Amino acid sequence: MKPKERMAIPRQKPRELSAEERKTNFNEIISGFDEKTAKLEAERCLQCKKPGCIQGCPLHNDIPAFIKLLREDKVEEAYWIIRRTSSLPAVCSRVCPQEFQCEGGCIRGKKGEPVAIGLLERFVVDWMVGHSKNLMEPCALPTGQKVAIVGSGPAGMTVAYNLAHRGIKCTIYDNLPVLGGMLSVGIPPFRLPRDIIKAEFDALKSCGVEIIDGIAIGKDKTLEELKDEDYGAVFLGVGAHESRKLGIPGEELVGVLHGVDYLRDVNLGKEVDLGRRVVVVGGGNVAIDVARTALRLGSTDVFILYRRTRKEMPASGSEIHHMEEEGVRLEFLAAPVAVHGENGRLKKIECIRMELGEPDESGRRRPMPVEGSNFFIDADAVVAAISQRVDPTVVHGIDIKRTPWGTFEVNPETLQTSVPWIFAGGDDVLGPQTVAKAAYQGRIASESISRFLNGEL
Ligand SMILES: Cc1cc2nc3c(=O)[nH]c(=O)nc-3n(C[C@H](O)[C@H](O)[C@H](O)COP(=O)(O)OP(=O)(O)OC[C@H]3O[C@@H](n4cnc5c(N)ncnc54)[C@H](O)[C@@H]3O)c2cc1C
């Protein structure tokens, strides 16, 4: 095909449930490409000499190579190109914020729409599943070495995946009764169906990875005890699960909740009724997932309160679009100042208008309160979704260095902590980030752990 012809192909759209169809259930919204659409979309790739997509991908997947193979009908080979660098392609293709990562680096996005890389990756993985193909390489023969992994999120899963393929026996410990970390207790099933996560763990188990849930390391068992059980190294992938508080009067009232706590309860099957009018504070993925979950569970008036404008929202554009289609309303340039209640129960939230000043350390314009502009919103529930911190309980009894932000201090090259036999990665090192970034750190840590076990580090 000539470059001009490629340029003329518009970005292909996936099939998706209408807003009406989806807002009463947790079914997956996007269906993915069929073969014909995937091939056509693949033709849009210009096979750049210096591919910005690879640089944009936190895992550095060889995107042009897999797309080329897909064009040549070599779907299985395309899959193995992705698998070289990605431990979680079925997950990443669904939830990565591609507009800020691979697709953000696509040259076609400069003057139009980027290649739909996430949907192409998803097509390749779904094709493999649909054709009952093996999704993992054969496991290596056991070396006799043992590693304990604390946390079953993307970082821990990736360490287990890579080490198991080197013949190192891995045991994953998780304090929750479900596996997958934020994939299972954060991201809602309408974005990431649970059978996708289950398939990843089935594959890990088939490679000899042992999984022990319901054990909190640092509480039920200490890291020293793990060491005494002959684990040659431990990887900490405990994420960031402690909600940041709003720090305003009235936060203790019944009806004020925190985003990841609410999503965890819902995902663990607890009944949480937020009532009719819900105000969610924040502008990231957590806030959006809370709002859309509340809507699906019966709340009718759901607002997002965000102190900056749409342009600065850290959530991905498609999530914001889907949320608005479903009927969640956005209140920009507004921040909470107090929560008011009666008899210990929330009644309304007091907010103040903001205006944007000079850029802050994050490069975004700093929101400043407009004096005297206070206003009230009646609410049955307020959910604060303004970020999370690392829960340090896991390192109880161990003198390990942490940063001023509460994350674990690591050697950036090796991800080794200040205690040589303990490595860490993912959100507990980076702060709340993304699946692909956590998986990348899992990859780096597994290489370092392997060297450490062999006396090379
Ligand atoms: C609501 C929400 C939506 C998100 N949406 C997206 C998205 O669309 N795209 C994207 O890329 N990223 C998204 N993220 C971020 C992404 O999920 C995280 O960056 C990623 O899961 C971090 O992986 P991790 O392995 O470091 O930690 P986690 O996934 O947090 O896993 C840590 C695990 O460790 C366990 N644990 C903690 N303490 C202990 C202990 N003491 N003992 C044993 N186990 C312990 C936890 O229970 C958990 O299972 C979202 C996050 C949330 C909360």
| 205: CATH | 3.50.50.60
Cα separation of 90 and 156, whole Å?
16
Q: Are 232 and 364 members of one domain?
A: no
Q: Are 366 and 268 members of one domain?
A: yes
Return the best residue to mutate from 30, 150, 174, 182 for the ligand 1 pocket (most ligand atoms within 8 A of CB). 182
Give pLDDT, residue 60.
Answer: 98
Q: Are 165 and 226 members of one domain?
A: yes
Boundary-marking domain end, from 130, 160, 188: 130
Give pLDDT, residue 419.
Answer: 98
Give pLDDT, residue 137.
Answer: 85
Q: Are 189 and 82 members of one domain?
A: no
In a domain, residue 163? The reply is: yes
In a domain, residue 354? The reply is: yes
Return the best residue to mutate from 190, 285, 313, 394 for the ligand 1 pocket (most ligand atoms within 8 A of CB). 285
pLDDT in tens, the chain (457 residues): 888 999 999 999 999 999 999 988 999 999 999 999 999 999 999 999 999 999 999 999 999 999 999 999 999 999 999 999 999 999 999 999 999 999 999 999 999 999 999 999 999 999 999 999 988 888 889 999 999 999 999 999 999 999 999 999 999 999 999 999 999 999 999 999 999 999 999 999 999 999 999 999 999 999 999 999 999 999 999 999 999 999 999 999 999 999 999 999 999 999 999 999 999 999 999 999 999 999 999 999 999 999 999 988 989 888 999 999 999 999 999 999 999 999 999 999 999 999 999 888 878 889 999 999 999 999 999 999 999 999 999 999 999 999 999 999 999 999 999 999 999 999 999 999 999 999 999 999 999 999 999 999 9
Cα separation of 167 and 146, whole Å?
9
Boundary-marking domain end, from 130, 157, 189: 130
Domain around 438: 146-241+390-453
Boundary-marking domain end, from 340, 362, 388: 388
Q: Are 376 and 248 members of one domain?
A: yes
Give pLDDT, residue 69.
Answer: 98
In a domain, residue 140? The reply is: no
Q: Are 106 and 176 members of one domain?
A: no
For residue 432 the two structure tokens come to 């709340």
Half-sphere exposure of 354 (CA within 13 A, CB side): 20
Domain harbouring 46, CATH code: 1.10.1060.10
In a domain, residue 170? The reply is: yes
Instruction: Give 152 Cα–ligand 1 centroid separation in angstroms.
Output: 8
Instruction: Give 438 Cα–ligand 1 centroid separation in angstroms.
Output: 9
In a domain, residue 21? The reply is: yes
Q: Are 354 and 279 members of one domain?
A: yes
Nearest to 115 by CA among 62, 54, 53: 53
Question: Are 290 and 266 in contact, with CB atoms under 8 Å apart?
Answer: no
Ligand 1 atom nearest residue 241's Cα:
30
Residues whose beta carbon lies within 6 Å of some atom of ligand 1: 95-97, 150-156, 173-176, 181-183, 186-187, 216-218, 237-239, 241, 260, 263, 285-286, 289, 391, 393-394, 426-428, 433-436, 438
Q: Are 189 and 303 members of one domain?
A: no
Sheet with 381-384, side-by-side order of all strands: 256-258, 381-384, 277-281, 301-305, 329-331
Q: Quote the number of domains for the chain.
A: 3
Return the best residue to mutate from 187, 322, 391 for the ligand 1 pocket (most ligand atoms within 8 A of CB). 187
Give pLDDT, residue 272.
Answer: 95
Residue that is written with structure tokens 């400069």 in the block: 110
Residues contacting 342, CB < 8 A, separation 6+? none
Q: Are 255 and 384 members of one domain?
A: yes
DSSP string for 241-308:
-EEPP---TTTTSBTEEEHHHHHHHHHTT------SEEEEE-SSHHHHHHHHHHHHTT--EEEEE-SS
C-beta pairs of 360-365 under 8 Å, 24+ apart in sequence: 364/308, 364/312, 365/308, 365/312
Q: Are 254 and 367 members of one domain?
A: yes
Q: Are 329 and 366 members of one domain?
A: yes
In a domain, residue 336? The reply is: yes
pTM, to two decimals? 0.96
Instruction: Give 114 Cα–ligand 1 centroid separation in angstroms.
Output: 28
In a domain, residue 404? The reply is: yes
